[in-house]
Structure 1
């Protein structure tokens, strides 16, 4: 019998690497019904993308020319042999071979993977201290060279260590309907373990598999939602929130909109704007599940949007290279192109101008990106400040993935996110 999860993982890898499908979209389309199968699928696809260079290095002595699809299948088998300890080696080989229909190809895949398995311990030892940093850190040459230019050695080492494994999963408790303590107790009763992050309101770190949480009642009835640590820090740094009007631009699936609304005084009007129709649909679904009707959702392109009202707080979480999230989205490693940064920076600056136009006198403008490239951070701020003479920089984070330190701003810097806050006019 063909193993469905591995066959699906093989297909998704083809979609991501050869048809330019985003990892997040590919996984959203493929949802096995069983929790264990969903968790395995995510692990296999993310793992192959995260360890791609090391896998190719290990396979290269065993194969010469390969068609791309067979190469992806061998990567899938090699990942299970070298990095997935919970799968016995013989099972990893057999289940991968079962994905192939043609007899001659089955024999070839079987021979390659069994040869690889016979050298498993030796290969693991070599990979841990491989002399080639591209193999050791599983990065394309152009991206690694740029990281070395941008980050001092200590910060570079910290960043490379962080993106070498999947990130912890964080939840934002819907504190409009339940306390953090109540949600923690309910999750424990459903077999889901969490730890509270006491420095952030309503923040729980998930200590159990994500698939288990997504099937539990707490999630299904909207008492909590998955929201990354960086996003929770971005919104917490916006406190104190104004009592009247907040605008969240490039709102995505609405996670930060929810977090802002939960932190804001009751009665505050929050508008979330997102261009992508699919994201808007998911945002509305999430808000419906959370039973939050007070957030106004607009689908619009900011560059075509004429904002007539003024807001006391405008948050622009601009589309970016997302280098801070390579641990979560390892496919971004293979999408990175140095030449794209100039276009990203120009687009972000154009969005920043639109966001600034919506800020009321005395109000605040917050610019955040989940990256640390100079073009998308400090260079954008410098260009904005040359134009926007009525905005004063109040505070900004660092631009490198520094080691953890005390305080929310230092924690945000350690995630690789960038955050800057301006105040308009003479407001105090």
Structure 2
């Protein structure tokens, strides 16, 4: 009998690689049929890990199959991917169980003719461990010789070696690592890819409408969950042991799962009691709840989103948090401004490539392409202009993304300011955890980096309507 987690992981990966579903939806579908919590956890680990290391896994599959992965049947390819991931990265899983289940999945998926290939590839790889044929990093002496040079001035062969290592062994798209190498250099790019390839710890934001960090920490400890204060986010907690989502507090509204870098965006709005605030792209609602807390549930907080499904998620978050000040609307900034200039603060957390969140959503690295930042920037600029029409004179407009790419960030803000003379940039300034000032760049923007802050790559710019 095939282990339930492995067949579920195979089905989820197939849904993702065929573009039938994104990673969260694919996992939700297959996990709903797994009654055992351990199977659900293992399924998630296999699928997420396979997508995280996809380029390295494909390189190994091609080597031991002695053919390009594009020449393999898609079903067989996905069986081999999840199986190679387990053999290489999950040391507590017996080799025989992985290989036997892979052969059986190949057979039951109607690819009986490929069972011999599946068995041979996995047995050969298992025998070769730990000396696997992956591209090595550039030699240390070669790196030392170019230490004072920008990446663009490296010798061609050394550049190619670095890109092969980062794109294959470190499993990131070549076009993306080449961008990072040109902007930040080799050491920072290596650190960035290593960050993205480490599973993220769970980050929580304390809902100060209901509790405080000290009380929540105590209540979690009573349930065998240990947390520590986030380094940068003032109301953030990082889980160090246990799982708060498996406790009765998960539905209490006392906390919400929110990446620490994401928690730094809402405070840029300077929402306060009695203010009128518009959260224009509000789902799933973490920033909405954060601003409701800053307003002490007094004033008017309009939270909008363009998609019905996202609005339903937003409504659930707002209700659970007790954010009574929030009023939900369907709003699509690409179709113009839904209000006149009446708001003290407006937040545009714009839809983006998401390339700053690769650590938490590894599928994004393969779903995005080199043309996407420019393509999305045009839409983001249009949305920012629409939102600007709702800001009162003296009010504050915040533009944010979870992208690492300047086309979606600085370039959008620059283009907006060039065509909007009544707005000026306001340096980001708010109180937070230790070292928060290091997240503000020379232009006054909030900029978090994996290699500098050990946070996902987020961007935030504050603008004032004069």
1:419 aligns with 2:460: yes
Aligned partner of 1:54 among 47, 56, 77: 56
Aligned partner of residue 132 in structure 2, secondary structure: helix
More moved, 387-396 vs 17-26: 17-26
Q: Which residue of 2 aligns with 1:341?
A: 373
More moved, 187-196 vs 311-320: 187-196
Query: How far 1:188 sits from its partner (Å)?
Result: 1.9
Q: Which residue of 1 aligns with 2:118?
A: 109
Does structure 1 conserve the Cα–Cα contact (< 8 Å) formed by 2:357 and 2:402? yes
Q: Which residue of 2 aligns with 1:272?
A: 303
Q: Which residue of 2 aligns with 1:201?
A: 234
Query: How far 1:155 sits from its partner (Å)?
Result: 3.3
Distance 2:30 2:318 in 1: 23
Aligned partner of residue 427 in structure 2, secondary structure: strand
Matches within 5 A, 1:18-417: 18-31=18-31, 32-63=34-65, 64=67, 65-100=71-106, 101=108, 103-123=112-132, 126=134, 129=137, 131=161, 132-133=164-165, 134-197=167-230, 199-208=232-241, 212-239=243-270, 241=272, 243-304=274-335, 305-308=337-340, 310-395=342-427, 406-407=436-437, 409-410=439-440, 412-414=447-449, 415-417=456-458
CA deviation string 1:147-178 (max 9, x = no partner): 32333344323322211222222111222112
Query: How far 1:6 sits from its partner (Å)?
Result: 1.3
Query: How far 1:242 sits from its partner (Å)?
Result: 5.8
Aligned partner of residue 138 in structure 1, secondary structure: coil
Query: How far 1:227 sits from its partner (Å)?
Result: 0.7
Aligned partner of residue 238 in structure 2, secondary structure: strand
Does structure 1 conserve the Cα–Cα contact (< 8 Å) formed by 2:232 and 2:435? no
Query: How far 1:405 sits from its partner (Å)?
Result: 5.1
Distance 2:186 2:203 in 1: 29
Query: How far 1:279 sits from its partner (Å)?
Result: 1.2
CA deviation string 1:312-342 (max 9, x = no partner): 1101010111111011111111122222222
- Structure 1's unaligned 5+ residue stretches are 398-403
Question: Could you tell me the TM-score, scaled by structure 2's length?
Answer: 0.83
Query: How far 1:393 sits from its partner (Å)?
Result: 0.5
Query: How far 1:291 sits from its partner (Å)?
Result: 3.5
Distance 1:239 1:217 in 2: 33
Aligned residue pairs total 416
Does structure 2 conserve the Cα–Cα contact (< 8 Å) formed by 1:183 and 1:218? no
Q: Which residue of 1 aligns with 2:143?
A: none
Query: How far 1:61 sits from its partner (Å)?
Result: 2.3
Aligned partner of residue 99 in structure 1, secondary structure: helix
Segments ≥4 residues shifted beyond 4 Å? 126-131
Aligned partner of residue 247 in structure 1, secondary structure: strand
Distance 2:390 2:438 in 1: 27
- 1:194–1:61 distance in 2 versus 1, CA, 3 Å: same
Distance 1:302 1:170 in 2: 30
- Structure 2's unaligned 5+ residue stretches are 139-160, 441-445, 450-455
Question: Could you tell me the TM-score, scaled by structure 1's length?
Answer: 0.90
Q: Which residue of 2 aligns with 1:400?
A: none
Does structure 2 conserve the Cα–Cα contact (< 8 Å) formed by 1:241 and 1:265? yes
Distance 1:141 1:423 in 2: 38
Q: Which residue of 1 aligns with 2:150?
A: none
Query: How far 1:406 sits from its partner (Å)?
Result: 4.5
CA deviation string 1:107-161 (max 9, x = no partner): 432232122111121128x567485222122122222223323333443233222
